[in-house]
């Protein structure tokens, strides 16, 4: 799964603390980091859920297409925006991916 790598990067960026990482998959009490991240649990870190159902790749594709839609209609300048998808084995092992 991609979440440990994403959490490690967020730690290096200063968005997570060592205590956050120590609480990976320790979700009791609401302080842990979930193995299947969801914006409902961590809205300041996740924009889209990245579960093992192939939603991560699809979310990235549709976000990129929506950015193009906005740019083509002069609604928003998206020339400097980037869409990244961090994909792990769980995400890529689904037919939707």
Task: State CA 97 to chain mean position distance.
Answer: 15
CB of 48 within 8 A of CB of 39? yes
Calpha distance 8→74 (Å, rounded): 37
Report DSSP state, residue 28: G
In which band, very low, low, confident or very high, does the pLDDT at 33 lie, cut at 50, 70 and 90?
Answer: confident
Q: How many CB atoms lie within 10 A of CB 61?
A: 12
pLDDT at 28 over 60: yes
Task: State CA 95 to chain mean position distance.
Answer: 19
pLDDT, tens digit, 9 for 90 and up, residues 1-26: 677 888 888 899 898 899 888 888 87
pLDDT, tens digit, 9 for 90 and up, residues 38-86: 778 788 887 776 665 666 778 788 889 999 999 999 999 999 999 888 7
pLDDT, tens digit, 9 for 90 and up, residues 65-78: 999 999 999 999 99
DSSP 34-54: PSS--TTT-TTT-SS---TTT
């Amino acid at each position: 799964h991609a979440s440990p790598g994403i959490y490690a990067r967020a730690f290096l960026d200063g968005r997570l603390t060592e205590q956050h990482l120590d609480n990976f998959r320790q979700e009791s009490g609401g302080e842990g980091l979930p193995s299947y991240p969801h914006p409902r649990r961590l809205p300041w870190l996740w924009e889209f859920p990245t579960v093992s159902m192939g939603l991560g790749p699809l979310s990235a594709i549709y976000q990129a297409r929506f950015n193009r839609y906005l740019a083509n209609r002069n609604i928003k300048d998206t020339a400097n925006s980037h869409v990244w998808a961090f994909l792990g084995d769980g995400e890529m092992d689904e037919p939707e991916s």
